[in-house]
Amino acid sequence: MHQLKDLMSRNVKVISPDMSIGEAARQMRDGDFGMMPVGDAEHMIGTISDRDIAIRAVALGLGIETKVRDVMSKGVSSALDTDTVDEAVKIMSERQVRRLPVVDQDTKLVGIVALGDLAVKASESKPAAQALSQISRPS
């Protein structure tokens, strides 16, 4: 069984909660990210996604100078780098997220695993494949 450290992207860009959502959007565009952890490499306090910016900021008429902390998602879900695909899929399914920060045993951010990263490996496991189909289920 594959561990997340074998599948995750190690190219993780963390954004400060005091940055503007305009800067967050630029970094997401330039890095082709859909989500970024918020905090520093040692301690995540949340995440911000392109959806957070669109739904929580733009739809409410907030400007690009709005701070990341004002629209980010709090309560970070994460997985250990030693977790299996099945374990990550379970977390993603329960939390209805498509991207999951990955931490090491010391809770230091070491990567991100995305739904697409897991889809190929999950096809080897019927329970994981079934769980993956539930991640994007309508609310």
- pLDDT (tens digit per residue) in 109-118: 899 998 887 7
Q: What is the number of domains present in the chain? A: 1
Cβ atoms of 104 and 10 closer than 8 Å: no
Pairing between β-strand 73-74 and β-strand 99-103 as defined by DSSP bridges: unpaired
- pLDDT (tens digit per residue) in 4-25: 999 899 988 899 999 999 999 9
CB atoms within 10 A of CB 56: 18
More confident residue, 26 or 116: 26
Question: 15: domain range?
Answer: 4-135
Cβ atoms of 59 and 77 closer than 8 Å: no
- pLDDT (tens digit per residue) in 61-112: 999 999 999 999 998 889 999 999 889 888 988 888 888 999 999 888 899 9
Indicate whether 50 pLDDT > 80: yes
pTM: 0.79
Query: For residue 129, what pLDDT is reported?
Result: 55
Q: What gap in Å lies between CA 77 and CA 96, rounded to an integer?
A: 10
CATH number of the structural domain spanning residue 33: 3.10.580.10
In degrees and rounded to multiples of 5, residue 135 shows phi and psi of -65, -40
